[in-house]
Amino acid sequence: MFGTVVVGVGIAGLARIRDLMNPMPSSPSEHLKLFGFVSRRSFGNINEAKQISLEDALRSKDIHAAFISTENRSHEETIRMFLEAGKHVLVEYPMALSAKAAHELWEMAEQKGKVLHVEHIELLTEEYKQLKKEVAGKDLVKGTLHFTGHVLDENKTGFPAFSGIARLTWLIDLFGDLTVTSATREKQKDKNYSRMTVHFQTANN
């Protein structure tokens, strides 16, 4: 069995704990054993998974890999700690708040002989796979991708572009490299409202 720990218990972390506690029959998850979860908040147990300290997770010889599901801004530091401790790492997208940091982390993983995997789970859904089939072989002339969400704490999630960067990956995966032609941001603090609008061009304009 391959020992694992989940770091962070938001929506993604709770889903990880659920799936590790109840793996699909004959799936690779059956070979993973959840030794616990790490959180800044005090929970005790969640679905029979026990809470352990970060220090214990880093020190444990039974834990071989960490699933990081914390806020964007803490990804880089947490990845570094687990790689330094000799653990494999799976992290929710995005891995870091800059490309430079991401490349440094990949190099570090390579030097340590460990796997560093960034998972963008939306690209694995049936809905997305269907969308990809529908646009295959077609040229994008014009299109709009609009999505909404709660106003996020920028100290934890980073600049607003990072709140939407997972969606931008859809566009690159579907239509190839994109170039930013313009970007604007509107904020209305009294209404707790923020909107970012970005225009892109494909490689063939």
What per-residue confidence (pLDDT) applies to 180? 93
Ranges in the chain, pLDDT < 70: 163
d(CA 13, CA 68): 8
What per-residue confidence (pLDDT) applies to 4? 97
Longest Cα separation, the chain: 54
Q: Is residue 158 part of a domain?
A: yes
Taking CA atoms, 44 is separated from 1, 15, 40, 51, in Å, by 24, 17, 12, 5
What domain range is 103 assigned to? 2-119
| Structural domains of the chain, count | 2
Residue whose token pair is 């909107």: 195
Pair 44, 110 in one domain:
yes
Q: Is residue 54 part of a domain?
A: yes
DSSP designation for 164: S
Pair 63, 110 in one domain:
yes
Pair 71, 40 in one domain:
yes
Residue 33's CATH number? 3.40.50.720
d(CA 79, CA 47): 25
Pair 112, 162 in one domain:
no
What per-residue confidence (pLDDT) applies to 17? 93
Domain boundary among 73, 90, 119: 119
What per-residue confidence (pLDDT) applies to 52? 97
What per-residue confidence (pLDDT) applies to 46? 87
H-only helix segments in 98-182 = 99-112, 126-135, 154-157, 160-163, 165-175
Q: What is the pLDDT of residues 145-195, one digit of tens each?
A: 888 877 777 777 777 777 677 778 888 999 999 999 999 999 888 988 888
